[in-house]
Amino acid sequence: MTERKDEEIKKFVRDFYGSIAQSKGGSCCSSGCCGPSAELSRARELYSEEELDALSLDINSLGCGNPVATAAMKPGDVVLDLGSGAGLDCFLASQQVGPQGKVIGLDMTPEMLHQARANAKKLSLENVEFRLGEMEHMPVDSNSVDVVISNCVINLSPNKDSVFREIFRVLKPGGRLCVSDMVTHGELPEEIREDPTFWAGCIAGALDEEVYLDKIRAAGFAEPEVMNSVSSSCCDEPDCCGESPIASVIVKARKPQPPRL
């Protein structure tokens, strides 16, 4: 994929999610084969009632899983959420890391950041901040983060090698990656891969599960592991995604500690 094509995809995705933030409707899975769905009902599918009710605020969810429930965050941790959207995972993480911890939400869509900051203000959270930036070039210091989470966002990047290298860079030695994302079990048709609408719909950018894990290993991570896999109904329509089933997965990995001298 050429650099120009990459930028075209990014712009389409940014505009798409900007429009969702402004309308407060739709879902990440809004391509032609998926169809729109209500964000709040989607949140109720992915998160427990206790998690959502503890926030005392209805917050839109565009995810495909719940990485917060699997990331094993501790009080005092510094957490980075990639593609933080309206901030739901950041706010849930802030409860786990406590006032002595910190949560950074990163998003490339100004409209989403505006919504997230407004939600944080309503919740009076002082341990959460939101930054404008891209996953491929994170405005985050090296070796400064304990846990990186992400929810159905890495698939949107046309350069996942850069994303995983950046995650590795910002994590402290021994730091952890825990992401929810979409993967395939086989190749997608080329016409799907080339369609920006399917990129925004979390389908065209999905990698084969083994390729996804290989890219994590290539970035330097140890022990990448699929913790959970759920087949998606996104591609039930005939001739939508060919013979390749789409699945939502939770993937964990660890940045190795340097060897002791």
CA distance 129 to 132: 10
Residue 230 pLDDT = 84
Look at residue 26 and tell me if it is in a domain.
yes
Look at residue 12 and tell me if it is in a domain.
yes
pTM of the model: 0.88
- At 177-187, the pLDDT tens digits run 999 999 998 88
Look at residue 241 and tell me whether its pLDDT is greater than 50.
yes
Burial 24-53 (b: 16+ CB within 10 A, else e): eebbbbbbebbeeeebeebbeebbeeebbe
Comparing 120 with 26, the larger pLDDT belongs to 120
Look at residue 208 and tell me whether its pLDDT is greater than 80.
yes
- At 243-258, the pLDDT tens digits run 558 899 999 999 999 8
Structure tokens at 128: 């959460």
Look at residue 59 and tell me if it is in a domain.
yes
Look at residue 259 and tell me if it is in a domain.
no
Highest mean pLDDT among 15-24, 177-186, 230-239: 177-186
Q: Please report which confidence band the pLDDT of residue 42 belongs to, taking 50, 70 and 90 as the band edges.
A: low
Give the bridge partners for 177, in sequence order: 148, 253
Q: How many separate domains does the chain show?
A: 1
CATH number at residue 203: 3.40.50.150
What domain range is 134 assigned to? 3-254
Look at residue 136 and tell me if it is in a domain.
yes
Comparing 104 with 55, the larger pLDDT belongs to 104
Look at residue 261 and tell me if it is in a domain.
no
Phi, psi angle pair for 10, to nearest 5°: -60, -45
Look at residue 260 and tell me if it is in a domain.
no
